[in-house]
Copies of this chain bind each other. A is one copy, B any other.
Amino acid sequence: MSLNTFGHLFRVTTWGESHGPALGATVDGCPPGIEIDEAFLQQWLDKRRPGQNKNTTQRQEPDAVRVLSGVFEGRTTGTPIQLMIENTDQRSRDYGEISQTFRPGHADITYHQKYGLRDYRGGGRSSARETAARVAAGGVARAALNALIPGIEIKGYMTRMGELAIDRERFDWDAIDGNDFWVPDTAAAPEWEAYLQRLRKNKNSVGAEVEVVARGLPAGLGAPVYGKLDTDLAAAMMSINAVKGVEIGEGMAAARLTGTENADEIFMGEDGPEYSSNHAGGILGGISTGQDVVVRFAVKPTSSILTPRRSIRLDGSPTEVVTKGRHDPCVGIRAVPVGEAMMACVVLDHFLLHRGQVGEGPRGTIG
């Protein structure tokens, strides 16, 4: 993982700015022979795409992905896969005024301090638009995982938005895809929508918590001690724009538990070891146990709001910033497919790493 590349063997390099001609991902290390077409990738981009309902930004970006290399006659060849998404709805004029101003909560000021110059149009490289490239790469990872780990399922959903949190008692896996918030509770969605519209009208935004689950992984994935599965998941999720916290299984709440409460006791099931609970989030010592791998991350409230915030200009003079553009009141919604994409990339990467170091042959069996 170095600058703009993520992963050990399945390596994703994203490139591009929000208002340049295009952005994309260079995907290296994908196994050969995987069936991929643009429609398969496009479905994940469509899930992330803005402008689909009134709860997200009204920008219209088709976010059509093109595969420029690495796929021949519908199959990956083992060579780099270039995924390009052209930027079409740029409206540079909306952003012209910020070239001299630092928006609070944005990377404007740190990019300036670090690099001495920045593409100020829409955040440039620091725009969440970069995550479209991640989602495209995640689509490649999903295709490979479907071929390599039959039955694997990766799904994200919102577990909190400001004051609202899901009720774990009412958790419905099948409800997730049926509402605009990806909440696992059909009945809750209207309340979430009302809450968000109220915030938007108040010229405000709100944070969110997203959970991503990988189901059906084999035991044994993860490379201790610095390429642990949870280590790489933490890095993957923290690298997403606006993320401020990452949890595995019990997460920060583990600090409140005692040893007897936190223990996941082990039983012998029909197909191997089973556990009484999953406080560990499916990872022990950095290696998957075969249970669900559970990651949660918090996204801060959108910094671009219509309520004025105090800031400074390039020359140090004070100013007030009101960010007018078309912004999501809760970026957490669109962070769901991004979190899924990162999970897919990390899991595939560790599958390949494990296969490389340990092989496919018989490993440690139990019973």
Contact = CB atoms under 8 A, between A and B. Distances in A.
A322 to B, nearest CB: 12
Contacts of A262: 105, 207, 300-301, 303
A298 to B, nearest CB: 4
A4 B124 contact: no
Interface residues of A, number: 162
Interface string A203-239: 0111111000000000111111111101111110111
Interface stretch (A36-44, A53-61, A113-121, A176-184): A113-121
Interface in A49-95: 66, 68-70, 72-73, 75, 77-82, 84
Contacts of A9: 9, 353, 356-357
Nearest to A356: B356
A160 B315 CA distance: 43
A337 interface: no
Most B CB atoms within 10 A — which of A220, A224, A279, A316? A224
A116 B364 contact: yes
Most B CB atoms within 10 A — which of A14, A205, A256? A256
Given A14-B80, A317-B268, A357-B356, A113 B363 contact: yes
B75 A287 contact: no
Interface string A351-363: 0111111111111
5 contacts: A15-B79, A31-B357, A31-B358, A260-B305, A315-B366
